[in-house]
Amino acid sequence: MVSGQGAAQTLLPDSFFTGRPAFSHPEQPGKPASCEFIAAQLPDSIPADSRVDMAIAGTVSLVRTDGALWYVAVCAEPGVRVLCVTYGANDLKPGDKAVLRGGYSRQDRRHVLLDPCLASPENGAGAGDQ
């Protein structure tokens, strides 16, 4: 979690979201991208004082807990891997279709962290499109 959460955040201009339907302002819905289309939408960086959310739909490849937090991952190599840090896995298991939504942080060229994040079963309503 980010320290100093009470501090004002810089809102990104709407132009940042052009061509990036999986991304949204904090707590706003984005259109989940599929694993094969997410790489084209990833920004190289965002300002340190900004939060942007990302939504992705894919097959769960990892579900783990440390007793307090849950870690749910989607998207397989060689593509971009996405890890969701959440308080509950909603009974998701590896192989399930899921939608992950949360605060975007790019760890490196092939790894994205969503924290905080919500993981839920995919309902089929447009999830997984570009």
Give the CA angle between residues 1, 5, 39 to the nearest 5°.
55
pTM score of the predicted model:
0.85
Strand-pair partners of 102 = 54, 117
Closest-CA residue to 31 (of 125, 119, 109): 125
Peptide bond into 116 cis (omega under 30): yes
DSSP state of 20: -
Instruction: Dump strand ranges (E) for 43-128.
Output: 53-65, 70-74, 81-86, 97-108, 111-121
Per-residue pLDDT of the chain (130 residues; tens, 9 = 90+): 444 445 567 788 889 999 999 999 988 889 999 999 999 999 978 888 899 999 999 999 999 999 999 999 999 888 899 999 999 999 999 999 999 999 999 999 899 999 999 999 998 544 444 4
- 91 contacts: CB under 8 Å, gap ≥ 6: 121
